[in-house]
Structure 1
């Protein structure tokens, strides 16, 4: 039985999950954004079956998050590097780190988000697009956008 596709869903969360919602994909992106590039590096890091790794890498390339680049001609071998879209996924991973540390790390943080130069701890923030003013996450919400359908507008108005 074929699963339902979310590729044309109106919700941006659903559309995004269609591209990266499988947990191997998220872990591959984690490793790619940390500098891993080659099939064997991903395989060693994740201890993932080769056929599954191949499928997930191909899906991430197709979704535009990774790009395949040849690094050897004989034999022909490829490395996988994040595209601009893939680099934008970094904020999603940072949110996972922060959320996971807060709720699933009773023993303490094994991974921290820090400023690269100073090593000082950071937290994710929302910022006003117009003036850059920081807005606490608990003071932000979602609302229907300019092209939202009536169904989406109703759904979002009920959830408030």
Structure 2
């Protein structure tokens, strides 16, 4: 049974972003891409996804403009999948997701960490407002309807509901 999609979700950037990368396998494929994997057999061996499912996921990423498919061998024809600029712009999202999970673990329990490759030092990424320098996790930052918001999105953020601590 398909999930019910609310009208406001059609314009919500979180909902639309999830339509691009909201599947478990998609995030794992992107992780592999950022680690330098480009070929079908590499993805298949590393992730363990069936060929048909992997083909479907890669096609979706290409169709959505996240990856581009290009020939790397003529006979037989073999393709590689390379991140586009749009796809590369997802890196901070994956870094933030990994950091969010690592925050829940003791340093000795972290299986993968983000490091500065010049120094080898582990880094803890944060997303900050460039004007104030504050982390966007600060409660003073809240979503509001934007200039392109429709009636439902404007209603969602009208009044107290869109304020921190509002219902």
Q: TM-score, normalised by structure 1?
A: 0.86
Q: CA deviation at 1:122?
A: 2.1
8 Å Cα contact 2:96-2:126 kept in structure 1: no
| CA distance in structure 1 between the partners assigned to 2:73 and 2:19 by the alignment | 32
8 Å Cα contact 1:112-1:121 kept in structure 2: yes
Change (3 A) 1:5 1:46: farther
| CA distance in structure 1 between the partners assigned to 2:51 and 2:4 by the alignment | 26
Q: CA deviation at 1:74?
A: 0.2
Alignment gaps of 5+ in structure 2: none
Superposed CA offset, 1:112-148 (max 9, x none): 122222222222333335x4x4212332322221211
Aligned to 1:12: 13
Change (3 A) 1:56 1:138: same
Q: TM-score, normalised by structure 2?
A: 0.83
**Which of the two has greater strand per residue?**
1
Aligned to 1:126: 127
Aligned to 2:111: 110
Q: CA deviation at 1:102?
A: 2.1
Q: CA deviation at 1:3?
A: 5.8
| CA distance in structure 2 between the partners assigned to 1:112 and 1:159 by the alignment | 35
Superposed CA offset, 1:18-73 (max 9, x none): 11111101100110111000000001110111110000000000011101010000
Aligned to 2:145: 144
Change (3 A) 1:31 1:108: same
Runs of 4+ in 1 over 6 A off after TM superposition: none
8 Å Cα contact 2:129-2:135 kept in structure 1: no
Matched, 1:76 2:72: no
| CA distance in structure 2 between the partners assigned to 1:5 and 1:50 by the alignment | 30
* DSSP 3-state at the match of 1:68: strand
Q: Number of residue pairs matched?
A: 156
Q: CA deviation at 1:2?
A: 5.6
Point out the more displaced range, 18-27 or 8-17: 8-17
Aligned to 1:67: 68
Change (3 A) 1:5 1:59: farther
| CA distance in structure 1 between the partners assigned to 2:67 and 2:121 by the alignment | 30
Aligned to 1:156: 157
